[in-house]
Structure 1
Amino acid sequence: MWKAIASNALTLFIVVLVAVAGLLAWGKRQYEGPGPLAEAICFRVDRGASFAAVSRGLETQGAISDARIFRIGADYTGKVQGLRFGSYLIQPQTSMDDIVDQLTRGGQSTCGSEINYRIGVTTADVVLRELDPGTQRYVEVVKFDPAIDNTPPEYTAAIDDPGIRFRVTLAEGTTVWQVAEALKRIDIMEGDIGALPPEGTLAPYSYEISKGSNRAELVAEMRDRQSRILNDLWAARADGLPYATPEEALIMASIVEKETGVPDERGTVASVFVNRLRTGMKLQTDPTVIYGVTKGQGVLGRGLRQSELRGATPWNTYVIDGLPPTPIANPGRASIEATLNPPTTPYIFFVADGTGGHAFAETLAEHNANVAKWRQIEAERARQPSAQPAGN
């Protein structure tokens, strides 16, 4: 009898062990295998959220099949306490194991919403956008100019969202004054900028900020970045350039930046100015004259007058020899690189060609022919009727 009882108990014990092993193997497959998610989602982890709440949220949104397995697996791997708040892009069929790793690995992803304070040459606006998980592209929610527009309620609500990200994007060709004025209007930032830094010393880039970021510290970061770019590219510059210092190269880069909006033309434009400096020819570039009129404080908004082209200012390169005393804008890395490593060309002249780019010429006769073509294009455009507003 006792032998039978012992035999049955042993059999039951083995069955239980087999069942437990099977259950563990099943759970491991559930945890490490492909998840049930059919389409990408943007999953939000609030600051201070518990792992249990996150597990339930993931199960509700269909990212995991079982919240309990998710918690047990995370606990077994020792990652329960590593949960980090933020917004996470979870791709289809992502395993529980990979989701745990994503949510505990290192902070916020690029999913969710962001507010971008964009500082451009002619405008400075604010864009609220959010990522569409399906297309992984940002969708614009609202855009406005804080200098002239009322603040949209969507923006006001967004800045109080603890998961929102903020950035300041500085475009190539802005002036230091324009940047300073735009930063003053960013309502989530604090502190005074102080004295304006020298012209041209702020690097165009997209900078991460947060609520309460200090304006002066951001400007210092912009200056530091531009200094590193200039020093690195100066060290790798071509031989025989007509610039004695990195500061002179920065001046030239700012002129190149303002002369063309076509990326592929930067090097050729730089070569024209290098050729002029080498031959002792005046630079004769309109953007420097404009800077002498505006001092970088805003956009001229009209054509130059003959009196301004002849007027004596330190920046009028139709009058002065060589480079002006300061940059005329904040040049980007590409313009600095083009200035310090321009191609070798025979060109001395260039003029707009009607396509947004320029026609380059080696001789004055070629240049005059290009100018005549451009004036014909301008005349034809002037004869075209203005577009009429659509009727209601």
Structure 2
Amino acid sequence: MFGRRETTPPPERAPQSPSTPAEQPRIAPRSPNEAIKPQVAPPPPPRRIGRPRGGLLATLSGLFSLLAITAVAALVALFVLAQQANAPGPLTEDRVLVVPRNSGMGDIAQLLRREGIIEQPLLFQAYAVLNRQQGRLRAGEFMFRANASIKEAIEVLTEGHAVLYTVTIPEGLTSFQIVERLRQNEILVGEIAEIPPEGSLLPDTYKFERGMSRQQIVDLMRRSQELVLAEIWERRIDGLPLESPEELVILASIVERETGRADERPRVAGVFVNRLRRGMRLQSDPTIVYGLVGGVGTLGRGIRRSEIQQPTPWNTYVIHGLPPTPIANPGRAAMEAVANPSRTNDLFFVADGTGGHAFSETYEQHRRAVARWRQIERSRGESGPTDAVDPADVPEDDPALERQGALPTGGPAPAALVPVLATNPADVSEGTPLDPLANRSFDLDSPQRVPELEPLPGELPLPSATPAAATAAAVPPLPPPRPAQ
């Protein structure tokens, strides 16, 4: 109507369900030729542009990778290093090597290479550093075994014991003689500042490493003496006539010089203790010698009559009581003997011909023992004793000798007494016929006898003299003289 054209609405399309795919329009080929031609591929989808990676993450990733590679390489290197360090070394035989003091790790490695113990000094140093042993390498004298590996060489220098040497100081030497012995030792080094006080050194066998100084040995001997003396002084018996440890050392030095027999030391100490208790002079021959030579050596001869009464601070034939200082350095056994002497009434002793002494309680018994010793000397063709008083040199007009009768065994005694006629078997000059170690004939398990005492001129024979004379052939022969070395 009115010339308008009605338009019909398009038909409504049914809604497509999500499950049904949309129908693709069919492309009708325009010709058979086009139908057999391949279709053009659709263009690729647009490339998705991602966010750029951060710098920290990349750094950490690279670092972890580097650490992993380094760890693997280190493990391989350690394995190879351990194999080479445990491989046998080039040394063909055992060798002693001296590592100087103040040597560094590099110096020690080069020394080992020069001596043919190792071949690779750098490997030695690396192994020592990795095992934290570089600060423990010691100086000294060491024994390296044949074919020792680098590991074994380091163990020797850090944990092994250095080669030890010994120096033996016999009992009864003076401090001067001990210092001279140490100076003659070629392994010790350095000088001794001063001669130690007499009696301050403990005789013993001491071990030391090469390079140790002589002064260190002296200091060690002094410390040992202090410890031993304190221990012995605490264990002394009650009632000793000694007021201090120093007096114990003085008396022990006299005992040490009087006898070299270990079984006699307590009895000899008992004689001197009994004399001190009675107020008697000790009258010990070694004190005369010390007063004359000052501890430098020995007389090498008998004591002259004029020297018996020659006043010196140490001559116990003249002074009362103990000398002012020791006359030697006593050993532990002598100090133990003085701290615990034998409980006897003995006041005298003289050599008995077997390397020991005959002990007596009275002067009359002592005279007989002296006469017996004279017989032994004559039978052996020996001269007078060395560094000892000869009975013939004792002044006859000395009122203190009391040659008539026995001395009292109880109560106070005269201040002066007869001399103790004893030889000095513990002569400090080793190698002499008086060296007690040279007497090989005495056996403690087989007691030996000496000839019976002949009556002195003007005396009646003893009751046992007649039977002894009748059986003189049955008496065992005397032991031979000590061999001279």
Question: Contact between 1:177 and 1:296, CA under 8 Å: does it hold in 2?
Answer: yes
Residue 102 of structure 1 corresponds to which residue in structure 2? 156
Per the TM alignment, residue 90 of structure 1 is displaced from its structure 2 partner at its CA by 3.1
The one-letter code of the counterpart of 1:289 is: I
SS of 2:264's partner is helix
The one-letter code of the counterpart of 1:270 is: A
Q: Which moved more, 1:35-44 or 1:234-243?
A: 35-44
Q: How many angstroms apart in 2 are the aligned matches of 1:59 and 1:214?
A: 32
Q: Which moved more, 1:172-181 or 1:240-249?
A: 172-181
Q: How many angstroms apart in 2 are the aligned matches of 1:267 and 1:292?
A: 25
Residue 281 of structure 2 corresponds to which residue in structure 1? 282
Per the TM alignment, residue 299 of structure 1 is displaced from its structure 2 partner at its CA by 2.7
Q: How many angstroms apart in 2 are the aligned matches of 1:92 and 1:266?
A: 50
Q: How many angstroms apart in 2 are the aligned matches of 1:188 and 1:346?
A: 50
Per the normalisation by structure 2, the TM-score is 0.48
Q: How many residues align?
A: 306
Residue 17 of structure 2 corresponds to which residue in structure 1? none
Q: How many angstroms apart in 2 are the aligned matches of 1:263 and 1:24?
A: 63
Residue 38 of structure 2 corresponds to which residue in structure 1? none
Select which of 62, 74, 77 maps to 2:128.
74
Q: How many angstroms apart in 1 are the aligned matches of 2:303 and 2:122?
A: 72
1:173-210 deviation line (CA, Å, top 9, x unaligned): 3445666889999995386x4xx875434444669799
Residue 242 of structure 1 corresponds to which residue in structure 2? 241
Q: Which moved more, 1:92-101 or 1:257-266?
A: 92-101
Select which of 38, 44, 47 maps to 2:98.
44
Matched, 1:334 2:333: yes
Question: Contact between 1:31 and 1:96, CA under 8 Å: does it hold in 2?
Answer: yes
Residue 359 of structure 1 corresponds to which residue in structure 2? 357
- Which segments of 5 or more consecutive residues in structure 1 lack a partner in the other structure? 1-16, 112-130, 132-137, 139-166, 385-392
The one-letter code of the counterpart of 1:329 is: A
Residue 191 of structure 2 corresponds to which residue in structure 1? 189
Q: How many angstroms apart in 2 are the aligned matches of 1:49 and 1:181?
A: 31
SS of 2:381's partner is helix
Judging changes above 3 Å, is the alpha-carbon distance between structure 1 residues 363 and 190 closer, same or farther for their aligned structure 2 residues? closer
* 1:25-40 correspondence runs (5 A): 40=94
Matched, 1:84 2:138: yes
Per the TM alignment, residue 294 of structure 1 is displaced from its structure 2 partner at its CA by 3.4
Question: Contact between 1:292 and 1:313, CA under 8 Å: does it hold in 2?
Answer: yes
SS of 2:358's partner is strand
* 1:1-392 correspondence runs (5 A): 40-46=94-100, 51=105, 54=108, 58=112, 72-91=126-145, 96-105=150-159, 109-110=162-163, 172-176=171-175, 188-189=190-191, 193=194, 199-204=198-203, 226-345=225-344, 347-355=346-354, 357-364=355-362, 367-368=366-367, 370-382=369-381
Q: How many angstroms apart in 2 are the aligned matches of 1:74 and 1:172?
A: 46
Per the TM alignment, residue 325 of structure 1 is displaced from its structure 2 partner at its CA by 3.3
Question: Contact between 2:162 and 2:209, CA under 8 Å: does it hold in 1?
Answer: no
The one-letter code of the counterpart of 1:277 is: L
Q: How many angstroms apart in 2 are the aligned matches of 1:383 and 1:256?
A: 25
Q: How many angstroms apart in 2 are the aligned matches of 1:242 and 1:264?
A: 22
Residue 40 of structure 2 corresponds to which residue in structure 1? none
Per the TM alignment, residue 368 of structure 1 is displaced from its structure 2 partner at its CA by 4.6
The one-letter code of the counterpart of 1:360 is: A
Judging changes above 3 Å, is the alpha-carbon distance between structure 1 residues 182 and 362 closer, same or farther for their aligned structure 2 residues? closer
1:17-43 deviation line (CA, Å, top 9, x unaligned): 9xx88x977975775699897854212
Residue 141 of structure 1 corresponds to which residue in structure 2? none
Judging changes above 3 Å, is the alpha-carbon distance between structure 1 residues 265 and 25 closer, same or farther for their aligned structure 2 residues? farther
Question: Contact between 2:349 and 2:357, CA under 8 Å: does it hold in 1?
Answer: yes
Q: How many angstroms apart in 2 are the aligned matches of 1:183 and 1:54?
A: 30
SS of 1:360's partner is strand
Question: Contact between 1:35 and 1:93, CA under 8 Å: does it hold in 2?
Answer: yes
Per the TM alignment, residue 350 of structure 1 is displaced from its structure 2 partner at its CA by 2.6
Judging changes above 3 Å, is the alpha-carbon distance between structure 1 residues 261 and 26 closer, same or farther for their aligned structure 2 residues? farther
Q: How many angstroms apart in 1 are the aligned matches of 2:192 and 2:346?
A: 49
SS of 1:80's partner is coil
Question: Contact between 1:350 and 1:358, CA under 8 Å: does it hold in 2?
Answer: no
Q: How many angstroms apart in 2 are the aligned matches of 1:33 and 1:183?
A: 43
Q: How many angstroms apart in 1 are the aligned matches of 2:147 and 2:212?
A: 39
The one-letter code of the counterpart of 2:130 is: Y
Q: How many angstroms apart in 2 are the aligned matches of 1:237 and 1:89?
A: 46
1:35-78 deviation line (CA, Å, top 9, x unaligned): 89785421233456665675576578676698776555433312
Q: How many angstroms apart in 2 are the aligned matches of 1:336 and 1:52?
A: 51
- Which segments of 5 or more consecutive residues in structure 2 lack a partner in the other structure? 1-71, 384-485
SS of 2:373's partner is helix
Which structure features the higher share of strand residues?
A: 1
Q: Which moved more, 1:176-185 or 1:87-96?
A: 176-185
The one-letter code of the counterpart of 1:361 is: F
1:328-361 deviation line (CA, Å, top 9, x unaligned): 2233333223222334455443323445x31232
The one-letter code of the counterpart of 1:189 is: E
Q: How many angstroms apart in 1 are the aligned matches of 2:346 and 2:113?
A: 66
SS of 1:351's partner is strand
Question: Contact between 1:203 and 1:332, CA under 8 Å: does it hold in 2?
Answer: yes
Judging changes above 3 Å, is the alpha-carbon distance between structure 1 residues 56 and 342 closer, same or farther for their aligned structure 2 residues? same
Per the TM alignment, residue 303 of structure 1 is displaced from its structure 2 partner at its CA by 0.8
The one-letter code of the counterpart of 1:257 is: E
1:259-290 deviation line (CA, Å, top 9, x unaligned): 12334433332222223333444322111222
